[in-house]
Amino acid sequence: MKVGAHESIAGGVYNAVDAQIEDGGNCGQIFTHSPQVWQDPNIGDEEAERFRELSADHDVGPWVIHSSYLVNLCTPKDDLRSKSIDSMQKEVDAAATLDIPFVNVHLGAHTGAGVDAGLDNAASALDELDVPEGVTVLVESDAGSGTKLGGDFEHLAAVLDRTDQDLDVCLDTAHAFAAGYDLSTPEAVEETLAAFDDVVGLDHLQCVHLNDSKHECGTNKDEHAHIGEGLIGEAGMDAFVNHPAIEDVPLVLETPHEDGRGFAWNIERVKELRAASPAE
Tell me if the bond preceding 244 is cis, omega within 30° of 0.
Answer: no
Q: What is the mean pLDDT of the segment spanning 112-122?
A: 97
Q: What is the mean pLDDT of the segment spanning 159-173?
A: 98
Helices 45-57 and 15-23, axial angle in degrees (round to 10): 30
Q: What is the mean pLDDT of the segment spanning 116-139?
A: 98
Quote the pTM value.
Answer: 0.96
Matching CATH number, 3-275, of 3.40.50.300, 1.10.10.10, 3.20.20.150, 3.30.1120.10: 3.20.20.150
- Domain-by-domain residue ranges, the chain? 3-275
C-alpha to C-alpha distance for 3 and 20, rounded to whole angstroms: 10
- For the CA atoms of 253, 3, 206, 46, the dihedral, rounded to the nearest 10 degrees, stands at 90
**Where residue 278 falls among pLDDT bands split at 50, 70, 90?**
low
Counting residues of the chain whose pLDDT is more than 90, the rounded percentage is 98
Closest CA to 47 of 6, 17, 90: 17
**How far apart, in Å, are the Cα atoms of 85 and each of 63, 68, 70, 108, 119?**
22, 11, 11, 12, 15
